[in-house]
Chain A
Amino acid sequence: MTNDTVALDDSVHLTESELLELEAVLTGGIHLKKTAESAKETVIRVENLSAYFGHKQVLQNLQLEIKDQEITALIGPSGCGKTTFLRTLNRMSHTVPGFRHEGVVSVLGRDVSEVRDVESFRRAVGMLFQRPNPFPMSIIDNLTLALKLFGVSKKERIEIAKDKLNEVGLYEDLKDRLHQSPFALSGGQQQRLCLARALAVQPKVLLLDEPASALDPKSTKLLEDLFVRLAEHMTIVIVTHNLAQAKRIAKRTAFMEAGEIVEFELTDKLFYHPQDPRTRVYVEEQIG
């Protein structure tokens, strides 16, 4: 949490992000934003990132800075490399045989190519996948397994599990069936369970790989609200096909095409005043 609150008047105190949202909606005012922005930490820094699967280049010379307490969206046509990029940020791409990258990818101050202790690194960088992926065990075990492996005491990890279920709004629904299989839950509930599971290990960054693509609009809305709330105290990067979703929740958006970042801007600016003709074409096509 940051103390960068700005007093608009004596009675109302807004957090920085709320303020920025408000400000962006109202005026798009350059002034305040700049002040606030310079105070934010850069959590993810990408310089000259190129990546390959075998001989095939999938990312070209990416350049990007992602700041704390923001939601950053990655959009672009299928196969543009946005998911690969996302998965490079927590070294999941590196588990694919034949993957390699050049350039600097620094996450939370650590260069991913020099990370030795992948496990503790990934604990700090949580991830949510395209489709819900509960583990084949009870709901409560889904939440506590990782904690158990990291040596958290039983009392404590059950406390955390309940806390996180509460945070994602599932506790009331599930408190009587914590020992049942998660596969009976709805898709939306499963995905929120996975989110709670990711949050249980206290990550500082959250990577979302089209997290709502398999969900109905109501569940999607619930998730999006959660993301916005979570962004108050963490960094979120979301890959999405859904431009409306990016517009709804992302502070900034990067448009990628053919392994390149074409444009990286404040979301509204990218959608309403795209600088690059390629962005314009894509946005117009998608919105119709």
Chain B
Amino acid sequence: MLNARIRSRIFQVAAGIAAVSPLLVLLFVAGVLVMDAWPAFKFQGFSFFTGITWNMGNMYASNPIVHNGVEGAPGATFGILPFIVGTIGSSLIAMMIAVPISLLSAFALVYKIPPRYARWISSAVELLAGIPSVVFGLWGMVVLAPIVANQIGPWLTHFGKVLPFLAGPVGSGFGLLTSGIVLAVMVIPIITATSRDLIAQVPKLPIEGAQALGMTTFESIRHITFPMVRRGVIGAIILGWGRALGETMAVLMVSGNATNYLPTNLYSPISTMASTVAALLDGALTDFSKLSIHALALIAVTLLVITMITNLLARLLVQLGRRDVGTEA
């Protein structure tokens, strides 16, 4: 009896530790990052978020400059607006492509495709989710970028009169659109697999009820299934969006890594925050003043905050959406 009580106690304590550990890890990571990033913020101030010039300074100069009490290499100035724009822009394009495709295929997998084929397709989707991002990057670089440059881009420029952002020049195929497509391909499996599992759990009875009333499959999905899975599906979308915001390697390989300028159209080269941190870390290590490292940490903090904001925003949308389910009269 005592034995059992002790065991239950141990279990409770272990479960408690396990339950709070994600929070602790998050706090720890955030704390370390903020501390690491602080000198860069002190050096640059809020223009860190609005400037478009990123310059780690002349690391081969021998006389460090001091600004706001922080030492940096001569010429050092850190503006990350192009990285913020690139990150949000490419992930939004990715979501615009991925969300409709993922939801359509999730619904099709549950309702339209015979189970024995659906099983195969589902495994393929899950397999796709497990492919390392360099593979997507390589595909984007070798296969997709030329297609964007020679086919997709020129075709989209026809809509340039309506949406100036779509107008040319198309450029090299490395840039915003290609990044968005590669990211879309990477998040489609995540959103599809998660939504499919959710949709499969929706009770069949109300849907049959809707069909028996003479509603089409689309109508019953739209009005019956979707409201029931909306919250979960938005969760899946956030998950995918988070992946798109934080993806590093694949974007690094297809974004064109624009430095010091903002994208002017859909095909402009861009840089994202995650890929910039990865690409510049090695060089920053040779900065004798260490300021470049702090600046990269500040990019990481910014990315963390942006991810949290999008997450909250999406949750807010869910709340509003639920109120919107409104009734007649």
Contact = CB atoms under 8 A, between A and B. Distances in A.
Direct contact of A and B (CB under 8 A): yes
B1 interface: no
B19 interface: no
Given A135-B223, A136-B227, A154-B328, A129 B208 contact: yes
Interface residues of A, number: 38
Contact of A137 (B114, B212, B327): B327
Nearest to A98: B114
Interface in A70-116: 90, 92, 95, 97-98
Contact of B329 (A120, A140, A198): A140
Nearest to A150: B214
Interface residues of B, number: 23
Contacts of B228: 136
Nearest to B329: A158
Interface stretch (A15-23, A141-149, A240-248): A141-149
B328 A134 contact: no
A8 B321 CA distance: 62
A197 interface: yes
A194 interface: yes
B329 to A, nearest CB: 6
A146 B228 CA distance: 18
A261 interface: no
B219 interface: yes
Contacts of A144: 328
A179 interface: yes
Given A98-B114, A140-B327, A122 B213 contact: yes
Interface in B282-329: 325, 327-329
Contacts of B208: 92, 95, 129, 133
B213 A137 contact: no
A194 B208 CA distance: 12
B206 interface: yes
Contact of B327 (A97, A131, A141): A141
Nearest to A119: B214
A119 B212 CA distance: 8
A138 interface: yes
Given A97-B115, A98-B114, A145-B223, A122 B328 contact: no
Nearest to B207: A133
A201 interface: yes
B127 interface: no
A251 to B, nearest CB: 24
Contacts, number: 85
A126 interface: yes
A137 B325 CA distance: 8
B329 A137 contact: no
Nearest to B117: A97
A127 B208 CA distance: 9
A127 B224 contact: no
A123 interface: yes
Given A133-B209, A136-B227, A149 B329 contact: no
B205 A129 contact: yes
Interface in A159-213: 178-179, 194, 197-198, 201
Nearest to A121: B214
**From B205, B210, B212, B216, residue with most partner A Cβ within 10 Å:** B212
Contacts of B210: 135, 145-146
Interface string B218-249: 01000110011000000000000000000000
A123 B211 contact: no
Nearest to A154: B328
B65 interface: no
B142 interface: no
A197 B216 CA distance: 16
A198 B328 contact: no
B107 to A, nearest CB: 15
B214 A201 contact: yes
Nearest to B111: A95
A146 B215 contact: yes
Contact of B224 (A92, A136, A179): A136
Interface of A: 90, 92, 95, 97-98, 118-123, 126-127, 129, 131, 133-138, 140-141, 144-146, 148-150, 154, 157-158, 178-179, 194, 197-198, 201
6 contacts: A146-B210, A146-B213, A148-B328, A158-B329, A197-B213, A201-B213
| Pairs of residues from A and B, 3 with the lowest C-beta to C-beta distance, nearest first | A123-B214, A127-B212, A138-B327
